[in-house]
Amino acid sequence: MDALIAFAAALLTLRLAGLLAARYRATRRPELFAWSAGLAAYAVAAAAIAWGEAAGWDARAFRVYYAAGALLTAPLLGAGSLLLSGRRRPGPVALVYAGLAVGISLAVPVHGAFAVHGIPAAQDHLAFLPARLLAILANSLGTLAVVAVALRSFRRRPLGNALIVAGIAAAATGSGLAGLGAAGSAIGIAVGAALLYAGFVTPARLPELLRFRMASR
């Protein structure tokens, strides 16, 4: 069941990433490209959970999960938010970081035996330097960027930013649902991705349009 839930989460998140990529192709807005890449990494993380739960966790499934979920998702989403705020440096920095993160995830030694089920804890299989420290810094900075930009522009775009903050909270809550096992993290990925996507694409004037329609009835 955990594998099926994780697979469904991967399909949903990949679909949402594809929709953002289509919007990027139509508009060439760089933040849409970064957000699409972030959700695609999130989808790969969910697929790695499905792989591990279906076939048994090993170093290969763990490397894919850690690279996509722990090292790439939050920084790419954060880069998208910074690009939306008008900054241009986060784009090249994110590309360089992504290459570094993938390289580290492939090169770092993985030790210890893996349980058949349940997402492996990073501290049981990776040394603190460099992978775990990089994940802590990257996730903290990426999440901070998403939340800070959303809060800063909240009055201009309240509904979209509220959905973005809720998406970050849902993802964090899913990761903390240890009692649900891998299914909890997969559900957190699916709900978080859906809320983030809705927040990214919600137009700034939607609340005003809704109030206008209600007043005209």
Q: Is the pLDDT of residue 199 over 90?
A: yes
Alpha helices in 56-123 (DSSP H): 59-65, 73-84, 90-107
Asked, for residue 27, whether it belongs to a domain, the answer is: yes
Q: What pLDDT digit, counting tens, does each position of 97-120 carry?
A: 999 999 999 999 999 999 999 999
Stronger pLDDT, 208 or 1, i.e. the higher one: 1
Helix (H, G, I), strand (E, B) or coil at 21: helix
Is 148 part of a structural domain of the chain?
A: yes
Predicted local confidence at residue 153, as pLDDT? 93
Mean residue pLDDT across the chain: 91
Asked if residue 146 belongs to a domain, the reply is yes
Other beta carbons within 10 Å of 65: 25
Residue 117 and residue 2 in contact, taking contact as beta carbons nearer than 8 Å: yes
Please, which residues have CB within 8 angstroms of residue 126's CB and are 6 or more apart in sequence?
66, 108, 110, 111, 132
Least confident of 13-27, 87-101, 167-181, 198-212: 198-212
In a domain, 207, yes or no: no
SS3 category, 153: coil
Residue 203 pLDDT: 83
Q: Which residues of 72-94 are buried (b: 16+ CB within 10 A; e: fewer)?
A: bbbbbbbbbbbbbeeeeebbeeb
Confidence band for 184, pLDDT divided at 50, 70 and 90: confident
Residue in 130, 200, 126 with CA at minimum distance from that of residue 162 = 200
Has residue 77 been placed in a domain?
yes
- The answer to the question of residue 109 being in a domain is yes
Q: Please indicate, yes or no, if residue 200 is contained in any of the structural domains.
A: no
Global pTM reads 0.91
Confidence of residue 205 (pLDDT cuts 50, 70, 90): low
In the chain, the number of structural domains is: 1
Domain that holds residue 130: 2-152
Measured in Å, how far apart are the chain's first and last C-alpha atoms?
A: 47
Within-domain flag for 111: yes
Tens of pLDDT, residue by residue over 38-55, are 999 999 999 999 999 999
